Amino acid sequence: MNLEKLCTEVQTIARTTGAFIAGERKKFTIKDIEVKGKANFVSYVDKQAEIQIIEKLRELLPDSGFIAEEDTTERTSDNYQWIIDPLDGTTNFIHGLPPYAVSIALMEGTELVIGVVYEITQNECFYAWKGSKAYMNGEEIKVTNAATTTDALVGTGFPYSAMDTLDIFIASMRYFMLHSHGLRRLGSAATDLAYVAAGRFEAFYEHGLKPWDVAAGALILKQAGGMVSDFNGTDGFIFNGELVASNGAYYDEFYSIIHQYFVENKDIGSQ
């Protein structure tokens, strides 16, 4: 399989779907929203975008399976699985607030081999494939070399569920607000990961995530020189709902902070 060629074709699919989403945003109204859960929304735009993506990906790789946000899970293949979020950042989209993105990843067995994140509002397509560098709109991107919290701008995402960890999450936010360049919440995990890859953030963490939120962005970040794990330092981040991501220089310190808060339940900001 020519992964570079396939990645180029996936970029085209992401951009075409992004154009559809951008067009629908101009006529979108509040009545088009469906509520899946508290602060968790979906619309006909998400659903139609997913249908479009799957139809085109099926043409590229007929024997592949799909893991996608809007209830499309097809395991027609044990070897290749597409992991898709047709509209990452739906709440932002509903309110006309950037960013929101199309996220498409390909997994071969248990390994990510293609990742494409198209952030629609800025017309920025981030992408990488196994063995490649990471790119945005044709230009190579890399993580920063900042190695300490003091020099880091940190991204995060607010949980929609698992509210039993809310106090821990708020304590971790307080720590970064006091000790880093600042804390940002964009509302699109796929975009957050792409921004770490591009050197706009030094790090990102969140829990309560789904595979389609992180798969594409994680590969792009790794190929840009970054590191990704779950809160225990393992590579189970795609499916176990928690993620620590940073540039390579800052990872050890950043992971240690997140691990202490969420696993050891230590409020290190009060020490």
Tens of pLDDT, residue by residue over 239-253, are 999 999 999 999 999
pLDDT the model gives residue 269? 82
Q: Is the pTM of this model over 0.85?
A: yes
**Residue environment code for 96-113, b if the CB has 16+ CB neighbours within 10 A, otherwise e:** eebbbbbbbbbbbeeebb
- Percent of the chain whose pLDDT exceeds 90: 79
Tens of pLDDT, residue by residue over 11-39, are 999 999 999 999 988 987 676 666 554 44
Mean pLDDT of the chain: 92
CB-based contacts of 232, cutoff 8 Å, min separation 6: 259, 263
Range with lowest mean pLDDT among 29-43, 134-148, 174-188:
29-43
- Segments of the chain assigned to CATH 3.30.540.10: 3-140
Q: Which CATH class is domain 3-140?
A: alpha beta
pLDDT the model gives residue 44? 83
CA distance 118 to 232: 29
pLDDT the model gives residue 37? 47
CA distance 114 to 14: 13
Going by pLDDT thresholds of 50, 70 and 90, the confidence category of residue 161 is low
163: pLDDT strictly greater than 80: no
pLDDT the model gives residue 73? 60
CB-based contacts of 254, cutoff 8 Å, min separation 6: 149, 152, 154, 202, 203, 205, 244, 246
Segment 88-99 shows an average pLDDT of: 93
42: pLDDT strictly greater than 90: no
- Phi and psi for 73 in degrees, rounded to 5? -125, 115
88: pLDDT strictly greater than 90: yes
Considering the four listed CATH numbers 3.30.300.30, 3.40.190.80, 2.40.110.10, 3.40.50.2000, the one that applies to the domain covering 149-270 is 3.40.190.80
pLDDT the model gives residue 183? 97
183, 206 Cβ separation under 8 angstroms: no
Tens of pLDDT, residue by residue over 178-215, are 999 999 999 999 999 999 999 999 999 999 999 999 99
Segment 71-93 shows an average pLDDT of: 82
Going by pLDDT thresholds of 50, 70 and 90, the confidence category of residue 166 is confident
- Segments of the chain assigned to CATH 3.40.190.80: 149-270
pLDDT the model gives residue 165? 79
